[in-house]
Structure 1
Amino acid sequence: MVDYLPTLIFLTILFSVPLQFYLSPKSSSDAQYYLHKFVDEIHQIYSKIIGKFFNFSNKKGEMFEESEQIGDEKEIIGEETISKEEMSGLFGGSDEPRHPRPPHIKYKVGQVVKHKLHNYRGVIVGWDEKVKAPDWWIKRVHGTEEIDEPNYTIIIDTRDRLVPQIAYVLERNILLSEGV
């Protein structure tokens, strides 16, 4: 007579350990992220299916996706909004590798700098040879002044500002920080 109990125990352990590892989140923020991503995917699938059958679309897109665009696909800067596609090359955020770095670009990505006027520290995460931003933003920040110098995207140190911020700064306004 064949004894199935050891085989059953072995198979239970074999499947339960990986299942337990898969189901247990690494942290609560991971679980929240994946839950949010899952709900978004369900939302998109649902809106596509309903949209095909009932033609529920308006000029701005699907009804369900319209509310999502405000948080996920658009960034609000001042009074204007810029889509992610328009934003991809702006504010030192180009997708193209910049190699080699031109010699007139004084600072490198990863360097810690200090703002001369506002006295905050930060890390350079991107740069542009000349300002690359929407015209309304350039007029608001620089006025009618012609900007023909490198600009750097800087993540501001939270020890200097309570709320995490990113700045787009002219080269003349920053210095290499000494002693972080």
Structure 2
Amino acid sequence: MPLQRVAIFQLGMLLMVVPLQFIITKMSSSTESQRVDQLTSVMEAVYGFSNKYLSWESWQRWSSTFYQNGIAQLFQSENNDNNINNDEENAYSRTKENNEFFATSTEPRSPRPSHVHFRVGQVIKHKIWGYRGVIIGWDEVAVAPEYWMSINHPPDKPHWRTMPNYSILVDTRDRLAPQITYVPQENIEMAPKTQIFHPEVDHYFEKFDGIRYLPRPSVRRVYPYD
């Protein structure tokens, strides 16, 4: 049970203590009929609280709200307190603004430039944030909205814009909510023989061969030499 729901449960129990104590003290001097009515009221209150805050349906609603709120806060700067993950880190919350951004272009990458060091299907680890992931696409240079570039490719890192950038499915063991990030080549390194957990893996890859993921035909058409 997440911390917020634990807190709600504890608060609800505390709020119910006072009326319960009052009812218990009154029951000894009440008639049987009154005691039945009082107990019924208590049970209805407990049931209502449980149904509103502790049921499976309420958990689904809470999860949905939590996820949507998390997505809404994805584009955060590296300069925030505690080095909150920037989006290099969560590019795809806004990719649909332009289907050419963040390595989403379906134009075949042919020929393959020699300075693109990593390939689609390879498993990597982020050098700064430490998460694992699998590459699902790359651009020879960064292709992203200017507002995104200004936040995530800071002035002291101008070369991030002109080096290859990679779209990566992030392992959900490292990031609980499924994420796709867009990362400069300088910030990643190989992490072979590692399987990645992400709900979109099967969309891009046929299988994991023990070292890397094998792209599906639709992906191979875009990256024929990877």
Please, what TM-score do these two structures have when normalized by structure 1? 0.53
Aligned-partner SS, 1:136 = helix
Q: For residue 147 of structure 2, what is the amino acid of its counterpart?
A: W
Instruction: Tell me how far apart the structure 2 counterparts of residues 78 and 119 of structure 1 sit (CA, whole Å).
Output: 19
2:136 maps to 1:136: no
Q: How has the CA–CA distance of structure 1 residues 149 and 83 changed in structure 2, closer, same or farther, with 3 Å as cutoff?
A: closer
Q: For residue 89 of structure 1, what is the amino acid of its counterpart?
A: E
Q: For residue 127 of structure 1, what is the amino acid of its counterpart?
A: W
Offset of residue 88 of structure 1: 0.9
Contact 2:122 2:192 in 1 (8 A): no
Unaligned runs of 5+ in 1: 1-74
Name the structure 2 match of 1:24.
none
Q: How has the CA–CA distance of structure 1 residues 104 and 142 changed in structure 2, closer, same or farther, with 3 Å as cutoff?
A: same
2:125 maps to 1:114: yes
Name the structure 2 match of 1:126.
137
Offset of residue 164 of structure 1: 0.6
Instruction: Tell me how far apart the structure 1 counterparts of residues 116 and 168 of structure 2 sit (CA, whole Å).
Output: 15
Please, what TM-score do these two structures have when normalized by structure 2? 0.42
Name the structure 2 match of 1:167.
181
What is the root-mean-square deviation in Å for CA atoms of aligned residues?
2.4
Correspondence 1:44-59 to 2 at 5 A = none
Q: For residue 110 of structure 1, what is the amino acid of its counterpart?
A: G
2:192 maps to 1:178: yes
Q: For residue 91 of structure 1, what is the amino acid of its counterpart?
A: F
Contact 2:95 2:101 in 1 (8 A): no
Name the structure 2 match of 1:158.
172
Offset of residue 143 of structure 1: 2.0
Aligned-partner SS, 2:162 = coil
Name the structure 1 match of 2:101.
90
Q: For residue 99 of structure 1, what is the amino acid of its counterpart?
A: S
Segments ≥4 residues shifted beyond 3 Å: 75-79, 81-84
Give the fraction of aligned pairs with identical amino acids, expressed as a percent.
Answer: 46
Offset of residue 167 of structure 1: 0.5
Instruction: Tell me how far apart the structure 2 counterparts of residues 130 and 123 of structure 1 sit (CA, whole Å).
Output: 19
Superposed CA deviations along residues 69-119 of structure 1, whole A, max 9, x for unmatched, are xxxxxx97749x9683x4211011112111221111001111101100111
Superposed CA deviations along residues 118-173 of structure 1, whole A, max 9, x for unmatched, are 11110100101111111110001112242221100000011111111011001010
Q: For residue 133 of structure 1, what is the amino acid of its counterpart?
A: A
Q: For residue 190 of structure 2, what is the amino acid of its counterpart?
A: L
2:114 maps to 1:100: no
Instruction: Tell me how far apart the structure 1 counterparts of residues 108 and 191 of structure 2 sit (CA, whole Å).
Output: 25
Number of aligned residue pairs: 105
Q: How has the CA–CA distance of structure 1 residues 83 and 92 changed in structure 2, closer, same or farther, with 3 Å as cutoff?
A: closer
